[in-house]
Amino acid sequence: MISTTHPVTWVQTCFAEQNTGAEQAWLSLFRKKKLHDFLQKGFPTKRDERWKYIDLSALSKTAFSAASLSEQSQRIKKFISERKLQNDNTIIFINGHCADIHMGQLPLGLIVCSLQQALLKDDMQIKSYLLTEQDHSFAALNAALLTDGVFIQADKDVVVTKPIYCIYISTEQQAFVACPNNRIVAKENSQLKLIEEYVSIDTESYFNNVHTTIHAEANASVEYYKIQNEALSANHIAHVTIYQQKQSQVKTYFFSNGATLEREDVSVIQLGDHAETRMIGFYKLGRDHQQIDHHVQINHQASHGTSTMLYKGIVDKKSKAIFNGKVWVGQKARKICAHQANHNLMLSDSAEVNAKPELEIYADDVKCAHGVTIGKINEQSLFYLQSRGIPKTQALKIVMNAFFSDMLNHIADDPIKHYIASQVNYDEPV
Amino acid sequence: MANNYIKQLVNKQYEYGFVTAIESDTFAPGLSEDVIRRLSHIKNEPEFLLNWRLRAYRHWLTLEPPAWAHIQYPKIDYQSMIYYAAPKVKTDGPKSLDDIDPALLETYKKLGIPLHEQGRLAGVAVDAVFDSVSVATTFKSKLAEAGVLFCSFSEAVKLHPELIETYLGSVVPYKDNFFAALNSAVFSDGSFVYIPKGVRCPMELSTYFRINAANTGQFERTLIIADDHSYVSYLEGCTAPMRDENQLHAAVVELVAHDHAQIKYSTVQNWYPGDEEGRGGIFNFVTKRGACRGVHSKISWTQIETGSAITWKYPSVILQGDDSVGEFYSVALTNHRQQADTGTKMIHIGKNTRSTIISKGISAGFGQNTYRGLVRILPTATHARNYTQCDSLLIGETCGAHTFPYIETKNASAQLEHEACTSKIGEDQLFYCRQRGLSEENAVSMIVNGFCKKVLNELPMEFAVEAQKLLEVSLEGSVG
Amino acid sequence: MLVIRDLQAFIRDEKQEAKQILCGVHLTVKPGEVHAIMGPNGSGKSTLSNVLAGHEGYQITQGDVHFEGKDLLTLSPEERAAAGLFLAFQYPVEIPGVNNMYFLRTALNSIRHHKNLPPLDAMDFLSLVKSKMKEVGMDEKFLSRAVNEGFSGGEKKRNEVLQMLMLEPKLAILDETDSGLDIDALQAVAKGVNTLRNGTRSFIVVTHYQRLLTYIVPDVVHVMVKGKIIQSGGKELAEALEAKGYGWLENEAEV
């Protein structure tokens, strides 16, 4: 697709800033190539079908500079200690750079390190992983300006019961761009739970361009939680790609709670038979000009796969929510059962919701269903609560709580459930 | 797989594939301003129309054919096509059936559309369009008594130029899309209907389109205006001969409903679909749109799409008037190598506007069936409501069913619901029917009809029976 | 009427692995008899019903079934129906958009066609179906509904019995028709069966509970465990089962 956005000059400046010459030759070459790719493509525009509803102009207007690692100040330490998720396994990123890895007792066969550490070890796996990046402009940008990321691998039969919590803090530095790249591998029969949370402390406009790739091998089980809890100064673009082998189980949870601009592209590809996928998402938009865009796709390439997609959102003020869900079933896939649902509560007349639930099916032995609803809070139920003496604002909270907690009930891990419940302000006063 | 029935049914040939040997006036292939001027001149058109055509043509030259639809076809060479073909007549236009070539009358008789008024469709007035021109319109005088104008588009240009000038392009502007621009430049004929204030049209109106000549494109234009408090039900049918090359049909239909008016537009589209290998068949690239201009107006589209190699059409409704209603009921069946990308647009502008979309896609063989729809609620459309249901039924392992609904809301008081499901004919359902003694053949046809029922119910009686038969015939030869 | 010898069948499960369900069933039903087949969940009772009706999901590996001397296993489901075999489904199937009355009339006339009888015209059919509906306590409004669509559990089962009354089979198999029924519906089902009992017509009543058998008194009771009939007896066997549970027989079978 041809893009009309003017080549973004800040990208070149950032690239130059970052290019210290210290890295391996192949990486340097590769990043250069990706910079070239990006400059050719530019940012997508509204003429791109996949980007038609979201306004990305802020990304080319602001001159972002390369993210630099800042001190882990007392404030940050205090901030982290106050997080309610008590956890031994915490990895801290500051402005995209890995600042600290606290890990409790690591089970044998579990690797946890930063991407840069993995690169230093000259890990062939990481090399081939980076070299097979996807071909779109944010992937090119991520590779060209690669900051850091996390590399987690659970070997065969390794079961990690406690979630690994990665917190990405954006702070202080003015107008920066960070490009983390995370790689998670769950080998055969292993189990992993991973949380990625994004927060801001005292920030001005910044841009996170995140890439995460997850491999769930045969019979592996992966739970992936993404909590976007950033300030309105944040622009957040993320691509998550998940490959599933036979009998693997993947659950993804997305909670979008802040940022002025957020785009989440999630693609799950079922490559092996009897894979199971559950994709849950919740978004809450409550500020003028906020845009949150979820593009969620499940590709059934193998047989006997099941998938459930449930996304819900509350949209208020002059904000814009976008949901695009796609179920794709290839011709060789048999006995597929896919379900997709999207429900939106609109609280304001100036808000906007754009939903596109797609089914693309090339096989006959399938059962696929989807449903979308968009509407405001049922006046009847509000009235009912009020007639029982509950003030309107509280009644509203109750109804919204019911709408939200339905999502929480899909989370099996109790500590994570409680943590998310405490972090997501679904019922901020309207 | 239990579908022995479907397997064993060999291809029943397309019934309407014959060619009528008839002398016709045709242009040499190719398109230019000169061709448009000649066309306009032959039809004795007023200045405004020629100018409009030329503006459309110049705009068309700047456009690229749309590439977003889920269809694949070879590039069309617009310069190798013939833009005008008309059966030869001695006079300016047929004054009565006696002036019409008997071969033509015979053709329509074969198609089951008698132009003699005492025929089978006795309660239906018919306008017959053969290649590029309207050859006959029945029941004219009876309709005139009620004040209803029903005639060919060319005739309307002569008799009611003021209505044409007011309404032509007011719903589908020539700039709308590639095919609409092409049609606006070269359309040759079509049907025109005007229902005056307060009149309930005394009978069903119908246009029967027939492509006969080889190498020609058919570009007709239909305009229906329902004035305040009026009602009309309009039917459209189409067939074409079997030919190995593809032929283009790029029609435009514009509907205008004023205050409290209702238009019901039904289509049974059975253009030649091409053979099993996908050779030949009609490219049916059609722009249909209705404007609910008045308060409490209603436009309802019903379509049974079983023919054409490729169908690309989105009958839409612009809901401008407060409390207006838009409906879209569709059955699209693709078998063999047929492709359909069809659906609707419901644009809610007025207050309390309501729309309903029921779409049923059936795919068999190598058929690809796509529902593409847009429901847009503008900020002005308070308390707008939409209900959408689009289901797909799959028969065989090589077909595809796709659903691309766009839902855009800018008003919190709107209520939208969208449901869709895709499944194959259930083996459980087949077994249940067969356990009760039904043959597999009856069971499949019963289940398919049940699947389409909500749509078939919307068709006028005469068409419902025909549509049911058509569905059965079109499914024959699908893979088991 | 029905002779089953050493019937063995398997089904392919989700993982395409063969799972043996019937492991050598022997059963003889004479004209006019009512046989009850009882057994714990998963013992193969419903599979037996489906195999007899010709469900293509099961593969038969051994044994034979004769119905009035005909080799039943070579017939298609509709031929078995025409020959007089009726299965009341455990889970009656919904067929959206297909009118219940139209369905029933097509079924009846298909079977009449096989018997070389003239089709029943709309009027005769209507008065017949209305009288039968009264017998099973079904509201006439169900005639205009789609087949089983949106019916409650009890309504579906009544609809099955209505079809049975209309089609007048020689052998009716009731596959757990009593599960999930309240007492009214249960009695209506039993009444439907009892009106059809006439000394020549046979029934196989597949059930998990003894409850139904107090209303439909069986001539023979069989107990099926792990794909085999492990014990047969009179109606007192059903009562013993109710009192002692299946464990008693299962343990015996192990020995």
Cβ contacts below 8 Å, chain B against chain C, sum to: 80
pLDDT of residue B95: 53
pLDDT of A53 over the 80 cut? yes
Contact with chain C for residue B428, Cβ under 8 A? yes
Contact with chain C for residue A236, Cβ under 8 A? no
Mean pLDDT of B163-186: 94
Q: Considering only alpha carbons, which residue of chain C is nearest residue A247?
A: C15
Confidence of residue B116 (pLDDT cuts 50, 70, 90): low
CA distances, A244 to each of A134, A151, A153, B344 (Å): 17, 18, 15, 36
Q: State the CB neighbour count (10 A cutoff) for residue B168.
A: 25
A105 or B162, which is more confident: B162
Q: Are B315 and B343 in contact (CB under 8 A)?
A: no
Angle at B421 between CA B417 and CA B425, to 5 degrees: 150
CA distances, B120 to each of B115, B116, B125, B457, B462 (Å): 10, 9, 11, 21, 10
> What digits encode the pLDDT tens for the residues C197-244?
988 999 999 988 888 888 999 999 999 999 999 999 998 888 888 788
Q: Which residues contact C58 (CB under 8 A, 6 or more apart)?
A: C9, C10, C11, C21, C47, C50, C51
Side-chain-facing half-sphere of B177: CA atoms under 13 Å: 18
pLDDT of B76 over the 80 cut? yes
Is there a contact between B408 and A353 if contact means CB atoms under 8 Å apart?
yes
Angle at A250 between CA A244 and CA A251, to 5 degrees: 150
Side-chain-facing half-sphere of B109: CA atoms under 13 Å: 10
B98 or A362, which is more confident: A362
Side-chain-facing half-sphere of A241: CA atoms under 13 Å: 11
> What digits encode the pLDDT tens for the residues A88-121?
789 999 999 999 898 888 889 999 999 999 988 8
> What digits encode the pLDDT tens for the residues C107-128?
999 889 888 999 988 888 999 9
C-alpha span between A353 and A370 (Å, rounded): 17
Q: Extract the tokens encoding A18.
A: 């970052």
- Selected for mutation to probe chain A from B382, B411, B428, B444 (highest A CB count within 10 Å) is B411
pLDDT of A1 over the 50 cut? no
B464 or B391, which is more confident: B391
Q: What is the DSSP letter of A260?
A: S
Q: Extract the tokens encoding A220.
A: 């592996």
Q: Are A257 and A228 in contact (CB under 8 A)?
A: yes
Q: Which residues of B touch A362 (CB under 8 A)?
A: 399-400
Contact with chain C for residue B406, Cβ under 8 A? no
Query: Mean pLDDT in chain A?
Result: 88
Give A52-75 as a DSSP string: SS---HHHHHS--EE--PPP--HH
pLDDT of residue A6: 52
Q: Which residues of B touch A346 (CB under 8 A)?
A: 409, 411-412, 414
Contact with chain A for residue B416, Cβ under 8 A? yes
Least confident of A372-386, B122-136, B247-261, B404-418: B122-136
pLDDT of B258 over the 90 cut? yes
Contact with chain A for residue B395, Cβ under 8 A? yes
Mean pLDDT of B113-131: 60
Is there a contact between A369 and B400 if contact means CB atoms under 8 Å apart?
no
Q: Which 260-289 residues of chain A touch chain C by CB within 8 A?
A: 274
pLDDT of residue B248: 86
Confidence of residue B462 (pLDDT cuts 50, 70, 90): low
pLDDT of A383 over the 60 cut? yes
pLDDT of C60 over the 60 cut? yes
Confidence of residue B263 (pLDDT cuts 50, 70, 90): very high
Q: Which residues of C touch B329 (CB under 8 A)?
A: none
pLDDT of residue A378: 77
Contact with chain C for residue B419, Cβ under 8 A? no
Exposure of C197 by Cβ count < 10 A (0-12 exposed, 13-18 middle, 19+ buried)?
A: middle
Confidence of residue B89 (pLDDT cuts 50, 70, 90): low
Is there a contact between C97 and B450 if contact means CB atoms under 8 Å apart?
yes
Q: Considering only alpha carbons, which residue of chain C is nearest residue A246?
A: C15
Query: Mean pLDDT in chain C?
Result: 88
A7 or A182, which is more confident: A182
Is there a contact between C95 and B428 if contact means CB atoms under 8 Å apart?
no
Contact with chain B for residue C120, Cβ under 8 A? no
Is there a contact between C95 and B436 if contact means CB atoms under 8 Å apart?
no
Q: What is the DSSP letter of B21?
A: -
Q: Which chains touch A (3 or more CB pairs under 8 A)?
A: B, C
pLDDT of residue A237: 97
Q: Which chains touch C (3 or more CB pairs under 8 A)?
A: A, B
pLDDT of residue C252: 62
B209 or B452, which is more confident: B452
Cβ contacts below 8 Å, chain A against chain C, sum to: 5
C-alpha span between C227 and C47 (Å, rounded): 9
C-alpha span between A21 and C98 (Å, rounded): 73
pLDDT of residue B12: 47
pLDDT of residue B123: 57
pLDDT of residue B3: 40
pLDDT of residue C255: 41
Helix (H, G, I), strand (E, B) or coil at C233: strand
C-alpha span between A381 and B372 (Å, rounded): 34
Q: Considering only alpha carbons, which residue of chain C is nearest residue B457?
A: C97
| H/E stretch holding A179 | none
- In chain A, what percentage of residues exceed pLDDT 70? 96
Q: Extract the tokens encoding B400.
A: 């595809």
Alpha-carbon distance A310 to nearest alpha carbon in chain B (angstroms): 14
Contact with chain C for residue B407, Cβ under 8 A? no
Nearest CA to B220 out of B85, B27, B372 is that of B85
Contact with chain B for residue A367, Cβ under 8 A? yes
pLDDT of C159 over the 50 cut? yes
Whole-angstrom distance between the N-terminal and C-terminal Cα of chain A?
Answer: 40
Contact with chain C for residue A300, Cβ under 8 A? no
Pairing of strands C85-88, C70-71: unpaired
Side-chain-facing half-sphere of B213: CA atoms under 13 Å: 25
A353 or A24, which is more confident: A353
| H/E stretch holding C108 | helix C100-114
Least confident of B253-267, B461-475, C64-78, C239-253: B461-475
Q: Considering only alpha carbons, which residue of chain C is nearest residue A335?
A: C14
Q: Considering only alpha carbons, which residue of chain C is nearest residue B438?
A: C107
Confidence of residue B354 (pLDDT cuts 50, 70, 90): very high
CA distances, B459 to each of A303, B290, B306, B446, C239 (Å): 40, 18, 15, 18, 59
Alpha-carbon distance C66 to nearest alpha carbon in chain B (angstroms): 17
Nearest CA to A183 out of A148, A234, A149, A220 is that of A149
Is there a contact between A364 and B395 if contact means CB atoms under 8 Å apart?
yes
Tell me the Ramachandran region of residue A96: left when phi exceeds 0, alpha when psi lies from -120 to 50, beta otherwise: left
Contact with chain B for residue C78, Cβ under 8 A? yes
Confidence of residue B171 (pLDDT cuts 50, 70, 90): very high
Helix (H, G, I), strand (E, B) or coil at B227: coil
> What digits encode the pLDDT tens for the residues B400-443?
888 888 999 988 888 888 888 887 777 788 899 999 999 888 88
Q: Are A69 and A99 in contact (CB under 8 A)?
A: yes
Mean pLDDT of B85-91: 62
CA distances, A62 to each of A9, A11, A177, A386 (Å): 10, 11, 10, 47
Least confident of B9-13, B210-214, B465-469, C146-150: B9-13
Contact with chain A for residue B64, Cβ under 8 A? no
pLDDT of residue B9: 32
The phi, psi pair for A185, rounded to 5°, reads -125, 120
pLDDT of residue A400: 83
Helix (H, G, I), strand (E, B) or coil at A292: strand
Cβ contacts below 8 Å, chain A against chain B, sum to: 119
Helix (H, G, I), strand (E, B) or coil at A102: strand
What is the C-alpha radius of gyration for chain C, rounded to an integer number of angstroms?
18
pLDDT of B93 over the 50 cut? no
pLDDT of residue A5: 45
Q: Are C206 and C183 in contact (CB under 8 A)?
A: no
Is there a contact between C96 and B432 if contact means CB atoms under 8 Å apart?
no
Q: Extract the tokens encoding B88.
A: 């030869």
C-alpha span between C161 and C157 (Å, rounded): 6
Q: Which residues of A touch B423 (CB under 8 A)?
A: 366-368
Contact with chain B for residue C56, Cβ under 8 A? yes
Angle at B417 between CA B416 and CA B420, to 5 degrees: 145
Is there a contact between B437 and C81 if contact means CB atoms under 8 Å apart?
yes
Q: State the CB neighbour count (10 A cutoff) for residue B58.
A: 13
Whole-angstrom distance between the N-terminal and C-terminal Cα of chain B?
Answer: 7
CA distances, A314 to each of A347, B115, B184, C33 (Å): 7, 59, 45, 64
Mean pLDDT of B449-472: 78
pLDDT of B94 over the 60 cut? no
Mean pLDDT of B376-399: 90
- In chain B, what percentage of residues exceed pLDDT 90? 39
Q: Considering only alpha carbons, which residue of chain B is nearest residue C173?
A: B435
Q: Considering only alpha carbons, which residue of chain C is nearest residue A305?
A: C14
Nearest CA to A306 out of A355, A343, A268 is that of A268
Q: Which 99-158 residues of chain A touch chain B by CB within 8 A?
A: none
Contact with chain C for residue A304, Cβ under 8 A? yes
Exposure of A71 by Cβ count < 10 A (0-12 exposed, 13-18 middle, 19+ buried)?
A: exposed
Is there a contact between C15 and A335 if contact means CB atoms under 8 Å apart?
no
- The interface pTM score, or ipTM, of the predicted complex is 0.87
Is there a contact between C97 and B454 if contact means CB atoms under 8 Å apart?
yes
Reduced 3-state DSSP string for C29-86: ECCCCEEEEECCCCCCHHHHHHHHHCCCCEEEEEEEEEECCEEHHHCCHHHHHHCCEE
Q: Considering only alpha carbons, which residue of chain B is nearest residue A314?
A: B412
Contact with chain B for residue C150, Cβ under 8 A? no
C-alpha span between C252 and C255 (Å, rounded): 5
pLDDT of B457 over the 90 cut? no
pLDDT of residue C177: 86
Is there a contact between A371 and B379 if contact means CB atoms under 8 Å apart?
no
- Helices C247-254 and C235-244 pack at an angle, to 10 degrees, of 100
Q: Which 29-68 residues of chain A touch chain B by CB within 8 A?
A: 49, 53
Q: Are A186 and A213 in contact (CB under 8 A)?
A: no
Is there a contact between B437 and C93 if contact means CB atoms under 8 Å apart?
no
